[in-house]
Amino acid sequence: MNDLDPKAFDLPATGAPVNLSRRGFLGASLGALVLGVSLPAKVSRAQEAPAKIIPGTRVPAFLEINPDGSVLFRCPFMEGGQGVHTAFAQIIGEELDVDPARFKVEAAPPGPDYLLVMGGMRITGGSFSVRSSYQTMRKLGASGRMMLLQAAAKKLDAPLEELTTEPGEVVHAASGRRVPYGEIAAEAAALPIPEEAPLRDASDFRWIGKPVARLDAHDKSTGKAVYGIDLKVENMLQAAVVHAPRRGQEPGEIANRKEVEAMPGVVSVHALPGAVAVVADRWWRARRAVESLEVSWKEPEAEAKNVMPADFSSEGFKQQLIATPGPGLVAENHGEAATALEKAPKKLEAVYDAPFLAHGQLEPPSALARWNEDGTLDLWTPNQAPEMYQASVAAENGLKPEQVRIHSPLLGGFFGRHFLYHGASPYPQAIALAKATGRPVKVIWTREEEFLRDAFRPLAVARFRAGLDAEGLPEAFFAEAVGEGPTGRWFGRKPEDPDPSAVEGIADKPYAIANRRVEHVVVPSPAMIGWWRSVGHSMNDFFYEAFFDEMAEAGGHDPYELRLKLLAGMPRHKALLEAVGELSGGWRRGPFTAEDGTRRARGVAMASPFNSEVATIAEVSLLDGEAVVHDVWVAIDPGSIVNPAIIEAQVNSAVALGLSSALLEEVVYTDGEPEARNFDAYPILPPEKMPRVHVRILESGAPMGGIGEPGLPGVPPAVVNAVSVLTGERIRSLPLSKLDLTPSGA
């Protein structure tokens, strides 16, 4: 998910402008996401707003206090490694007055209580979870505490104002009596939600802002954590699938169907939309059987939608983007970029590109579906948006949403993988196979099928032109972001508006350049595209911050000093840049010789993703034609924080993924198919390439920003800027593994 602006949403996928209330258009966007690909006629059903439930207020929908004083919290957000379940235990525990370690957290079912993002949606993405719901969940915890106080007042027959709490109990100091929460939980839960409940003063926080231990560390270190792929229900069968090589093709004749039906454990063979499936008693038997099928794939019908052209290639698409002229849709415009560019004494231009990327979460997708005797459906599947899945499943199967129970397991990584993307999830297959066999069915995709049907980070191109003044300072900047963003694809886009997910990281950078203009040149992608950790920022900050170094070099300025100069009027950014400089021991660009004799250089980059601010420095050397990244220093200012240990872990994680994309990753399409189908041909960052990561957290007090994604975008440009110092040549295309990197002068 990107830096979503609700204004970007007042369009359903039909493309027809609508004028709805805020609540209405969020409903419409939800409908557009899930129904635009299937049954647009049912949008109105998804728009029916639930009656008078204010999300995030009804305490019993979220909290259950057990007799032993432990707390079950039904979390609106999915845990996929980012630590959100622990963070909310801290936030609620602080106000409820329960030690976070006493919390058990699980994903809440679909329901109106949990629509906490952007005034009426529920997603786990956009680094939104904590920043969207911090105050709401504090108030919820405080309401819960007030209800416990009220219940205790009745039980003790003591005035409410004489009662206070200590972790897990109500205390009546005057009489020395104490009531454990567990003893009054039922009475408290029956009380009305209090109108007023005082919040704890921030100076008294015991858990918010502290490095509280993750709640899931032991379970995840002992194999006890249960993921979707591990689930089992009574009488369950398992299924494996093989998809058509290209989207749009359909299964034709299966030459050896009878032989395969006779293989061990096989229950049945099925043709599904765009795929074939085998249902068996065990998954390996299903897999062996489905991969034995001899299927003739039929070419798509003329009217088929979402078809992958047989001649599609990523290289050809890149050339198409490079060649597609503007003008584009204006995303940012200050001053007179065109005039200033023309008059500038020195000009430069460059074209950058970045490839399709796979999510590569280590848990392959799975879905378990069970049709019940009363016609309802249970579905267990990894997801980042349960209500959207519910609405989609209901519409696709002729059910009411309340007849579909979505169960949201722990995510074995996600990074944007588990939103609803057309044809990119196994759940429709599980539902169809469960219906066909009359038994619960779990579908697991092989890693190879996952690479074939993942919704990739878009391939994109950026064209830059800049004009420098007599002092070599940029005075004119013109950029065109060419391609398609996932937000426009899945949430719709006004024809005249740029897609924020296509321009974020290029538009609205903080540098003082008087004349600047950023446009989005829209070129739809035949490949299925999706949100990928840090979304547009994942490539656009690379494009921009690497081109920034080109501007600095052309103007004869040090790239760090030029950034400082152009941020003179932006105290928050300037402080951050100075902090990362200091953290790294003082800015030095290099090349310099390290203690081990290697020749090294450093690169710097700034990014403003998801309402947080980040400055990054990377130190790099070259070895055998490849870049070696030794250290990465990150200063991050999310405004204010909940858990510094989890932030540091998330920055490490984002650095790893950003570095992986800079060094190694690229989905290559030829003849309409992705070439790599597993990690052997699509390498991801291995342990030996992990740099040391140094993190400094600044709390400027600005509105709270995101944490899961912001550490990523600065890494590719910081690395590339350092590599360019060593090679003496600018690098404008990723990943670096495509290049033979040789030191300048070698």
Partner 1 sequence: MELTINGQTRQIDSEPDTPLLWVLRDEIGLTGVKYGCGVAQCGACTVLVDGVATRSCVTPVESVEGASVATIEAVEEDEVGRRVVAAWVAEQTPQCGYCQSGQVMAATALLKETPKPNDEEIAAAMTNLCRCGTYNAIAAAVRRAAAQG
Q: Answer yes or no whether residue 186 interacts with partner 1 by CB under 8 A.
A: no
Binding window for partner 1 (CB under 8 A); candidates: 510-518, 613-621, 661-669, 685-693: 685-693
Contact (Cβ atoms closer than 8 angstroms) between residue 86 and residue 214: yes
Q: Answer yes or no whether residue 411 interacts with partner 1 by CB under 8 A.
A: yes
Question: 459 or 654, CB closer to partner 1?
Answer: 654
Q: In one letter, which amino acid is 104?
A: K
Residue 223's contacts (CB-CB under 8 Å, 6 or more residues apart) are none
Question: 373 or 688, CB closer to partner 1?
Answer: 688
Q: Answer yes or no whether residue 645 interacts with partner 1 by CB under 8 A.
A: yes
What single-letter DSSP state applies at residue 667? B
| CA-to-CA dists, residue 696 to 127, 223, 584, 652, angstroms | 19, 32, 10, 12
Q: In what side-by-side order are the strands of the sheet with 599-607?
A: 592-593, 599-607, 613-623, 626-637, 692-697
Whole-angstrom distance, CA of residue 392 vs CA of residue 309: 27
Beta strand ranges found along 204-265 (DSSP E): 237-243, 250-254
> Residues 415 to 434: which contact partner 1 by CB under 8 A?
415
| Minimum CB–partner distance for residue 567 and partner 1 (Å) | 29
| Minimum CB–partner distance for residue 85 and partner 1 (Å) | 12
Question: 238 or 584, CB closer to partner 1?
Answer: 238
Q: What is the DSSP string of 465-534?
A: EEEE-TTS-EEEEEEEEEE--HHHHHH---TTSPPHHHHBTTBT--S--SEEEEEEEE---SS-B---TT
| Minimum CB–partner distance for residue 359 and partner 1 (Å) | 8
| Minimum CB–partner distance for residue 453 and partner 1 (Å) | 16
| Minimum CB–partner distance for residue 612 and partner 1 (Å) | 18
Binding window for partner 1 (CB under 8 A); candidates: 9-17, 197-205, 511-519, 652-660: 652-660
Among 76, 248, 300, 364, binds partner 1 (CB under 8 A): 364
Among 214, 489, 589, 600, binds partner 1 (CB under 8 A): 214
Q: Answer yes or no whether residue 225 interacts with partner 1 by CB under 8 A.
A: yes
Binding window for partner 1 (CB under 8 A); candidates: 4-12, 251-259, 315-323, 688-696: 688-696
Among 129, 132, 361, 425, binds partner 1 (CB under 8 A): 361
Among 355, 412, 440, 672, binds partner 1 (CB under 8 A): 412
Q: Answer yes or no whether residue 745 interacts with partner 1 by CB under 8 A.
A: no
Question: 98 or 656, CB closer to partner 1?
Answer: 656
Task: Enumerate the β-bridge partners of residue 463.
Answer: 351, 480
> What six digits make up the tokens of 536?
């547009």
Binding window for partner 1 (CB under 8 A); candidates: 49-57, 171-179, 614-622, 676-684: 676-684
Helix, strand, or coil (residue 610): helix
Question: 408 or 724, CB closer to partner 1?
Answer: 408
Whole-angstrom distance, CA of residue 453 vs CA of residue 243: 8
b/e map 306-322, b = 16+ CB within 10 Å: ebbeeebbbeebbeebe
Binding window for partner 1 (CB under 8 A); candidates: 215-223, 418-426, 475-483, 572-580: 215-223
Q: Answer yes or no whether residue 400 interacts with partner 1 by CB under 8 A.
A: no
Q: Answer yes or no whether residue 679 interacts with partner 1 by CB under 8 A.
A: yes
Among 227, 313, 376, 730, binds partner 1 (CB under 8 A): 227
Among 72, 186, 202, 217, binds partner 1 (CB under 8 A): 217
Whole-angstrom distance, CA of residue 181 vs CA of residue 169: 5
Binding window for partner 1 (CB under 8 A); candidates: 7-15, 94-102, 120-128, 213-221: 213-221
Binding window for partner 1 (CB under 8 A); candidates: 58-66, 106-114, 519-527, 647-655: 647-655
Q: Answer yes or no whether residue 693 interacts with partner 1 by CB under 8 A.
A: yes
Among 290, 444, 551, 641, binds partner 1 (CB under 8 A): 444
Contact (Cβ atoms closer than 8 angstroms) between residue 380 and residue 367: yes
Q: Answer yes or no whether residue 653 interacts with partner 1 by CB under 8 A.
A: yes
Helix (H) or strand (E) holding 577: helix 571-583
Among 91, 357, 441, 656, binds partner 1 (CB under 8 A): 656
Whole-angstrom distance, CA of residue 358 vs CA of residue 379: 25
Question: 146 or 712, CB closer to partner 1?
Answer: 712
Contact (Cβ atoms closer than 8 angstroms) between residue 720 and residue 546: yes
Q: What is the DSSP string of 82-105?
A: S-HHHHHHHHHHHHHT--GGGEEE
> Residues 67 to 86: which contact partner 1 by CB under 8 A?
80-83
| Minimum CB–partner distance for residue 511 and partner 1 (Å) | 29
Question: 356 or 451, CB closer to partner 1?
Answer: 451
Q: Answer yes or no whether residue 632 interacts with partner 1 by CB under 8 A.
A: no
Whole-angstrom distance, CA of residue 137 vs CA of residue 76: 10
Task: Enumerate the β-bridge partners of residue 31.
Answer: none
The closest of 620, 660, 654 to 636, measured between CA atoms, is 654
Alpha helices (H) along 605-714: 644-663
Binding window for partner 1 (CB under 8 A); candidates: 27-35, 276-284, 572-580, 728-736: 276-284
* Burial (0-12, 13-18, 19+ Cβ within 10 Å), 71: buried
Whole-angstrom distance, CA of residue 98 vs CA of residue 207: 10
| Minimum CB–partner distance for residue 698 and partner 1 (Å) | 21
| Minimum CB–partner distance for residue 440 and partner 1 (Å) | 15
The closest of 151, 155, 117 to 137, measured between CA atoms, is 117
Q: Answer yes or no whether residue 325 interacts with partner 1 by CB under 8 A.
A: no
Among 680, 740, 745, 746, binds partner 1 (CB under 8 A): 680
Helix (H) or strand (E) holding 165: strand 163-166
Task: Enumerate the β-bridge partners of residue 238.
Answer: 280, 442
Whole-angstrom distance, CA of residue 142 vs CA of residue 62: 13
Q: In what side-by-side order are the strands of the sheet with 366-371?
A: 266-272, 275-280, 237-243, 441-444, 366-371, 377-380, 404-407
Q: Answer yes or no whether residue 283 interacts with partner 1 by CB under 8 A.
A: yes
Question: 309 or 413, CB closer to partner 1?
Answer: 413
Q: Answer yes or no whether residue 262 interacts with partner 1 by CB under 8 A.
A: no
Q: Answer yes or no whether residue 583 interacts with partner 1 by CB under 8 A.
A: no
> Residues 232 to 261: which contact partner 1 by CB under 8 A?
232, 238
Among 325, 586, 687, 745, binds partner 1 (CB under 8 A): 687
Helix, strand, or coil (residue 669): strand
Q: Answer yes or no whether residue 104 interacts with partner 1 by CB under 8 A.
A: no
Question: 365 or 458, CB closer to partner 1?
Answer: 365
| Minimum CB–partner distance for residue 95 and partner 1 (Å) | 24
Question: 32 or 410, CB closer to partner 1?
Answer: 410
Binding window for partner 1 (CB under 8 A); candidates: 214-222, 308-316, 331-339, 568-576: 214-222
Q: Give the residue carrying structure tokens 């409410």.
A: 160
Q: Answer yes or no whether residue 447 interacts with partner 1 by CB under 8 A.
A: yes
Among 230, 250, 558, 578, binds partner 1 (CB under 8 A): 230
Size of the site for partner 1 (CB under 8 A): 63
| CA-to-CA dists, residue 499 to 392, 515, 558, 713, angstroms | 24, 22, 33, 18
Residue 460's contacts (CB-CB under 8 Å, 6 or more residues apart) are 321, 353, 354, 481, 482, 483, 502, 539, 540
Q: Answer yes or no whether residue 564 interacts with partner 1 by CB under 8 A.
A: no
Binding site for partner 1 (CB under 8 A): 80-83, 213-214, 216-227, 229-230, 232, 238, 264, 282-285, 360-364, 410-415, 444, 446-448, 645, 649-650, 652-657, 660, 678-680, 684-688, 690, 692-693
